[in-house]
């Protein structure tokens, strides 16, 4: 893919061998431990660990009975700091361990994306959050290094919430661009750049993601563009050598084609797209052939981008039936229990892979394989997520164990679905 009119081979040489000045005048080099031009990311997200998501670990939330907190913010607020610290320390120390990283490596994956919230590094006076997540991030980076895995650090939640989703820490709020919250986010990113952006992590960290899923259509896009630009140059002026990962803000593919170009002094930028087909009734109404066709189109579209691009989140899901996937106290569109009068089918047994009939197994395998082929048209993919308590369509471990996710990763029961 082109970052300018220069050829790829020359660009690669230029970026890795030639000092590129930042706006502050520093001489910076693009680090080269992962070759986004020629290698493929085949990764998995460590979801539900350092940022809680009720549908991933419902047992943490079900104990509240009739007053279940809808997100991590209210989890901390409801329990208070002392009890929250006790419960989350137990969760952090047990949900993900180095044995998980050994298993990740053993399945043929080569990287992990690790979501973490702003509150791990800085809290607002009004925040109920406890801290301690950063210590486990450090452990995870070392585990990845031990196992020969690469890491993206993903700032998954911003103060006030950048999208109103529970995975930002605070549901039903969209105050990221108000009350100075965007500046707090920039400050947190600087902390991350300062700590993790240096040469000590060149062998393991191959990206720092500025912000997960800012809801561009509902935010001031001009201000969001300014945020991305400021954050990028803060990274470079802080001496960060790491690639900068920019989520697409739910803009169409190609939106960034005229931004972050090498000719304008930018380097080491990767665009992160997230692709799902279950969060609207129109998507749920598709046949398996239509799901596959859409996935294949994603691959074609990625080749029209002028920047490295990775699908940083995707899943095997053909339904939105995983309990609380749409949020605590919310049902599913698929069975018409949430925001829909259209019934597509029952959710009973939809997340228990062991109960799937052969057609259901085949459909999910077809869909996964089409996405694997599509996303490797770009720089690769990162599945969401490594494991869940009971959401089978979103659980890499369960899918692989049951023969739904290819093992080895290049094994195809449905080759050439996309025709490329």
Taking only the tens of pLDDT, the chain with its 420 residues reads 433 333 333 333 333 433 444 444 433 334 458 999 999 999 999 999 999 999 999 999 999 998 999 999 999 999 999 999 999 999 999 999 999 999 999 999 999 999 999 999 999 999 999 999 999 999 999 999 999 999 999 999 999 999 999 999 999 999 999 999 999 999 999 999 999 999 999 999 999 999 999 999 999 999 999 999 999 999 999 999 999 999 999 999 999 999 999 989 999 999 999 999 999 999 999 999 999 999 999 999 999 999 999 999 999 999 999 999 999 999 999 999 998 889 999 999 999 999 999 999 999 999 999 999 999 999 999 999 999 999 999 999 999 999 999 999 999 999 999 999
How far apart (Å, rounded) are the C-alpha atoms in residues 66 and 64?
A: 6
Domain ranges of the chain: 8-401
Cα–chain-centroid distance for residue 126? 27
pLDDT for 10 equals 31
Burial bucket for residue 119 (CB in 10 Å: 0-12, 13-18, 19+): buried
Query: For residues 353 and 404, is the Cβ–Cβ distance under 8 A?
Result: yes
Marked catalytic residue, from 72, 209, 313, 376: 313
pLDDT for 85 equals 98
Sign of the Cα pseudo-torsion (168, 173, 174, 176, in order): negative
pLDDT for 341 equals 82
Query: For residues 167 and 107, is the Cβ–Cβ distance under 8 A?
Result: no
How far apart (Å, rounded) are the C-alpha atoms in residues 16 and 19?
A: 8
Q: Is 72 a catalytic residue?
A: no
| CATH class belonging to 8-401 | alpha beta
Residue 64: strand, helix, or coil: coil
Marked catalytic residue, from 213, 305, 369, 393: 213
Cα–chain-centroid distance for residue 231? 18
pLDDT for 18 equals 36
The pTM of the full predicted model, rounded to 2 decimals, is 0.93
Burial bucket for residue 163 (CB in 10 Å: 0-12, 13-18, 19+): buried
How far apart (Å, rounded) are the C-alpha atoms in residues 132 and 49?
A: 12
Q: Is 300 a catalytic residue?
A: no
How far apart (Å, rounded) are the C-alpha atoms in residues 322 and 28?
A: 45
pLDDT for 195 equals 97
What residue spans of 18-152 are helical by DSSP H? 59-62, 72-79, 81-95, 98-106, 133-147
Q: Burial code of 234-251, b = ≥16 C-beta within 10 A, e = fewer? A: bbbbbebbbbbbbbbbbe
pLDDT for 92 equals 98
């Amino acid at each position: 893919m082109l970052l300018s009119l220069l050829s790829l081979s020359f660009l690669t040489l230029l970026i890795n061998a030639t000092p590129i000045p930042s706006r502050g005048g520093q001489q910076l080099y693009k680090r080269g431990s992962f070759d986004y031009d020629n290698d493929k990311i085949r990764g998995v997200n460590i979801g539900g660990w350092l940022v809680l998501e009720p549908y991933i670990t419902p047992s943490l939330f079900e104990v509240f009975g009739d007053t279940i907190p809808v997100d991590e913010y209210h989890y901390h607020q409801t329990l208070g700091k002392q009890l929250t610290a006790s419960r989350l320390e137990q969760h952090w120390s047990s949900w993900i361990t180095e044995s998980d990283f050994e298993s990740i490596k053993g399945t043929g994956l080569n990287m992990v994306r690790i979501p973490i919230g702003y509150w791990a590094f800085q809290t607002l006076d009004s925040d109920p959050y406890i801290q301690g997540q950063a210590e486990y991030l450090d452990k995870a980076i070392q585990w990845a290094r031990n196992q020969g895995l690469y890491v993206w650090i993903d700032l998954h939640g911003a103060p006030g919430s950048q999208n109103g989703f529970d995975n930002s820490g605070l549901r039903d709020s969209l105050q990221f661009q108000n009350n100075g919250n965007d500046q707090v986010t920039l400050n947190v990113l600087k902390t991350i750049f300062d700590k993790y952006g240096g040469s000590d992590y060149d062998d393991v960290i191959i990206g720092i993601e500025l912000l997960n899923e800012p809801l561009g259509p509902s935010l001031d896009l001009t201000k969001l563009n300014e945020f991305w630009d400021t954050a990028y140059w803060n990274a470079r002026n802080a001496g960060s050598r790491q690639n900068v990962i920019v989520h697409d803000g739910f803009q169409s593919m190609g939106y960034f084609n005229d931004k972050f170009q090498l000719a304008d002094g930018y380097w080491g930028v990767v665009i992160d797209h997230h692709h799902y087909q279950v969060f609207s009734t129109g998507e749920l109404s598709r046949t398996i052939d239509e799901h596959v066709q859409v996935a294949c189109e994603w691959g074609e579209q990625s080749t029209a981008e002028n920047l490295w691009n990775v699908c940083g989140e995707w899943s095997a899901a053909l339904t939105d039936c995983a309990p609380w996937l749409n949020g605590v106290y919310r049902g599913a569109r698929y069975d018409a229990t949430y925001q829909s009068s259209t019934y597509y089918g029952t959710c009973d047994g939809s997340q228990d892979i062991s109960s799937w009939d052969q057609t259901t197994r085949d459909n999910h395998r077809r869909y996964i394989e089409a996405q694997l082929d599509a996303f490797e048209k770009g720089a690769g993919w990162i599945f969401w997520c490594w494991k869940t308590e009971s959401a089978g369509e979103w659980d890499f471990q369960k899918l692989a164990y049951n023969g739904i996710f290819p093992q080895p990763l290049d094994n195809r029961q449905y080759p050439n679905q996309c025709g490329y």
